[in-house]
Chain A
Amino acid sequence: MARLLELEGIGKSYPGVRALDDVSLHLDAGEVLGLVGENGAGKSTLMKVLGGVVRPDAGRIRLHGREFPALTVAEAGAQGIAFVHQELSVFDNLDVAANVLMGREPRWGGPLQLVDRKAARAIVAPLLQRLGADFGPDAPVADLSIAQRQLVEIARALSMNARIIILDEPTSSLTLAETDRLLAAVAALRAEGTGIIYITHRLGEIVACADRVTCLRDGRVVGHLARDQISHAAMTRLMIGRDLKSLYTPPAAPPRPGGLVVAGLVTSAFPDRAVDLTVRPGEILGLAGLVGAGRTSLARALFGVEPALAGTISLNGQPIRLRSPREAIEQGIYLVPEDRKRSGLVLDMSIACNVSLPDLANHARAGLVQGASEAQAAEAQRQALRIRAPEVGVQVATLSGGNQQKVVLGKWLAMRPRVILFDEPTRGVDVGAKGEIYALMRGLADGGVAVLMISSDMEEVIGVSDRVAVMHEGRIAGVLERAEVNEPNILHLATGQVPERTMAGSAGIAAAEAV
């Protein structure tokens, strides 16, 4: 196999921190290299070196046999390195062809420089076909799902004749089926001889697709794994330097009666489907399903963002109405949203301001904010949640993903939660912080809170939930008790099939009626 890329002894220091230290790795044509490591391990810096954004202090980069001390952005592109970022950078006001060919549009009309739309379509259509995309070059990107947008980005990389494609957390917003499709696209690219660097926190995908694994920790390469050595345990051990215990911690006590009971709930996403669901105090109910199955619509209805069209919701036996987040919060129903930067935090404000925001009236006298009381409450959360920041006056924007998520949690824990809805609680959160967040969720449940966790991460759903409700096309396809929770059962329900051996659907309904 042809050697595409070789990094030798790459080092990069910032004042006070050694971001990369003697990092060497290589990539051949037609192979997938899994790159793993916790947040802050140096993966991003390394990729910035490859993209020409960061200049290394030491080491050599060899591309297709040519040697570079450092790359510029233009050289990286010219040498066929393309990135597909975790934060999508598509233009959703344009169509697919325009996105794929951005900056390299075929033109006609001489000095008028008009875009040759026909030629653009002719270039883009075969690329989409290669990726197995189910949309055409004329489709407006605004109408595409996140998974489809990801394919647009990959098509863009292909259109630049990329020999090396770097996928940075490509599946953090995808569901299982979409992930499978992406992995199929990756396999197709590999078969064509493209070299792929695949960065992800979801180790299952590495197991599924990688030929080799390189693991970074604290800016150093701590190990390589060959194809037959790749396993969850091996990767985790390398990443954190120790074995990670099994995720699941059983509840301290059986769930109590009461909690949040939803009957016949209809959301605007599926006006002809009704949802019945029960979350009891003391349990973590996982809510699995494909993206678009209606899970987020359900959470938004329960938090009053998009009030339900019909149905009843009751909390501890009392019927309640949830017409706005304000009403939900008054009932003690809190949401830890999917997109914490957009809906969970005011990034430019301090930890203290964010933590006190929903409860500010209780930190005020005569309408004026009492800074001391506010700081005290925030400090208590900082310590309880072990938010890694020197003090609560620090801007939230400067924290890592896991610590930001803890701030979102701190907002709610400083109040009196009865039900907490987690929507993708550990997206973009590294392995160590994930464990802490799971422990916090368990602590909440043991403290008598009803916890509903929406997650597209199968390991998380299986590892954390006491029961799992699976949604399919706007309704609950079934509820699995702990003993029945496994990947095949969840997959069957999520894709509209009946799980093997058990009538899980009726179990869920029985639970709803028992309350």
Chain B
Amino acid sequence: MFNIHDPYLFEDELSEDDRMIMEAAREYCQANLEPRALRGNQDEHFDPDIPKEMADMGLLGASISEAYGGGGASQTAYGLIAREVERVDSGYRSFMSVQSSLVMVPIEKFGTEDQKKQYLPKLASAELIGCFGLTEPDHGSDPSSMVTRAVPTDGGWILNGAKTWITNSPIADIAIVWAKVKEEDKDVIRGFIVETAWKGVSTPHIKDKMSLRASETGELVFQDVFVPETHIFPEIRGLKGPFTCLNSARYGIAWGTVGAAEFCYERSRTYVGERKQFGHPLAANQLPQTKLANMLTDITTMQMLAWRLGQLRDAGKDDPAMISLAKRHNVGKALDIARVARDMHGGNGVTGDYRVIHHVINLESVNTYEGTYDIHGLILGREITGIQAFVPKG
């Protein structure tokens, strides 16, 4: 029998653990997040109860070691959770990705034992909310040009600079901040754990965002902030630090967008089945049918990429270019599917009630953040040709 939600039956191939985690996440998201998504998006409101609920379900730091309060689940399970959360709203998935991948992953991978013990259990339980500061107002795709800088002082560092487009910053207790320091007369990027309550830290909310309205976005501004020596990652140097976190988050996005696309496809299928024009359901016409066929074909390729990438990550055989390929492809296709879904809903498609337009405008951000569609194209281009084309040669 052909399964119109999972045509190549990848869910049958998942491990029992992963499938159970997927089903529990689906049950939670549909029962608890979906009913809030319409108002969350329309009213630009992130319900402050959501972090604790996700923590109670074990969805924050799902693949972080159990020794530090994480779930100890597989990379595939982490991806499947992202798919279920983003089936509801990319904003909710952004919150979850930042907490899990951009805050907990660097502390686990690069932090000292004390840093791990101090922060990871509280991040897993949502007692603390985290954010991640890499992008700056004038430095997006080119983070190596960042101007945020830390200089040594007695017992620590003095941090100055500003980061922008920071998911969670207005509600965050801690921020993972990447800043330049001088080492042997060279600028080197290093990572810091900064508590937002410290003197000189401010986290202004970014107003009038038209996308990802159900999650909080802001800036991080540092004015002569003293960061104790205990709060720097001791070993990691350079962009490898932030890119390790971004690889994890981008992998989650490759899965998350499968959920968003599946939602849009499912809503469109239902809509054209029920909506009658000229005496027949819209679904009885060739154009809606082939649009749905295209959607399902693209969703299947997205599922296959995300699933295989999860296997590769679980086996430790992934490469950043594989993640670029899947992030770029899956977000691009999800955006195409969401736009067609909006179109198939006619006038109703512009209202929040049908929720497809929320996915369209959310995915516009997802296409841009965590490496734009084009930057991931250039990463792949460099792999294919051996020539970097990030820096213009004109």
Tell whether A pairs with B.
no
Residues of B within 8 A of A (CB): none
Residues of A within 8 A of B (CB): none
